Amino acid sequence: MLTIQIAHININIDFKFEEQFHNIETYQTNEIGEYEIHSHFEELSLPTGEPTRHTEFYDIYEIDDKTIQLQKSNDRIIGGIVYNKKRIDLYLIQKDFVTEYLLSQYALLYILNQKQNAIFIHGASVVYHSKGILFSAKSGTGKSTHARLWRTYTDAVSLNDDKNIIVLEDGQLMLYSNPWSGKHQIHQNITAPLTCIVFLKQEKENQVSKVGVREAMRLLLGQIEPPKKNSVDVWNKMVDQILELPIYSYGCNMNPDAVTTLKTRLEMDLCL
């Protein structure tokens, strides 16, 4: 069993395919775990009756003091998650790393939801001169490609290529990484103050503009997890603070000059 620390949360993990989690050992800590995630090949006794929540990808059942999530792919159950307070058990009906990676991702989100001052946001992030820049967009738009261009043509380093954690610490928004970072598993166990958010869209010519609060809120809501009942007030406070950051819409190509255009604008606005 390995204990890792994610955004100051200590988690004991017991994974079947731990060796395939890229650089997960860089998050290792000697501190005592507060939560536990265990993977199993054993059969999960499937719940009966109607689910509390039904989606295309999973069904949720509330049974006694436990929550059971059945994960689906093409209408076939590939795994299950049992949430029981500070212990999460993953049942790998489809016994492979991809299933474990997917289920454990949900487990991390569950744990983060217990931490009131944290928001999970989709995007590719880099750290440039100790400042965190988050590129967000719909899947397939090119946020990973744009982050790679920054790493190639500047001295920026990757923080996380897909799933980032924003934590409110002493009144400042900090960007944290974690081992769950998309199909390429590009991440580093580093943190940086969140300086700005750039929402990308594909265009032939590069054109960057700041967006107003209303548009920023619309874009943001498509990429962050909604609050739980016990964290609505803190979540609202964090979102309000995020909306005070410079937030941009950037129509760009994926050529090297896309970095130059954006970098020039961010420097002009004193983001960098």
Q: Which of 221, 190, 204 is nearest to 255 (CA)?
A: 204
> Are 135 and 110 within one domain?
no
Domain boundary residue, one of 115, 140, 156: 115
Inter-axis angle of helices 257-268 and 143-153, to 10 degrees?
Answer: 80
Q: Which of 147, 149, 96 is nearest to 126 (CA)?
A: 147
> Are 38 and 154 within one domain?
no
Residue 233 region by backbone torsions, left for phi larger than 0, else alpha for psi between -120 and 50, else beta: alpha
Domain boundary residue, one of 50, 82, 115: 115
> Are 182 and 238 within one domain?
yes
What is residue 206's predicted lDDT score, i.e. its pLDDT?
Answer: 96
> Are 126 and 217 within one domain?
yes
What is residue 227's predicted lDDT score, i.e. its pLDDT?
Answer: 81
> Are 90 and 55 within one domain?
yes
> Are 141 and 224 within one domain?
yes
What is residue 229's predicted lDDT score, i.e. its pLDDT?
Answer: 75
- What's the pTM value of the predicted model, to 2 decimals? 0.92
- pLDDT by residue for the chain (272 residues), tens only, comes to 899 999 999 999 999 999 999 999 999 999 999 999 999 999 898 888 899 999 999 999 999 899 999 999 998 999 999 999 999 999 999 999 999 999 999 999 999 988 878 999 999 999 999 999 999 988 888 899 999 999 999 999 999 999 999 999 999 999 999 999 988 899 999 999 999 999 999 999 999 999 999 999 999 999 998 887 777 888 999 999 999 999 999 999 999 999 999 999 999 998 98
Q: Indicate the SS3 state at residue 256.
A: coil
Domain boundary residue, one of 115, 142, 176: 115
Vertex 253: Cα angle to 249 and 258 (nearest 5): 75
What is residue 140's predicted lDDT score, i.e. its pLDDT?
Answer: 82
> Are 214 and 190 within one domain?
yes
Considering its fold, how many domains does the chain have in total? 2
What is residue 268's predicted lDDT score, i.e. its pLDDT?
Answer: 96
What is residue 245's predicted lDDT score, i.e. its pLDDT?
Answer: 97
Which domain range does residue 195 map to?
A: 119-268
What is residue 109's predicted lDDT score, i.e. its pLDDT?
Answer: 92
Residue 93 contacts residue 77 (beta carbons within 8 Å): yes
> Are 190 and 238 within one domain?
yes
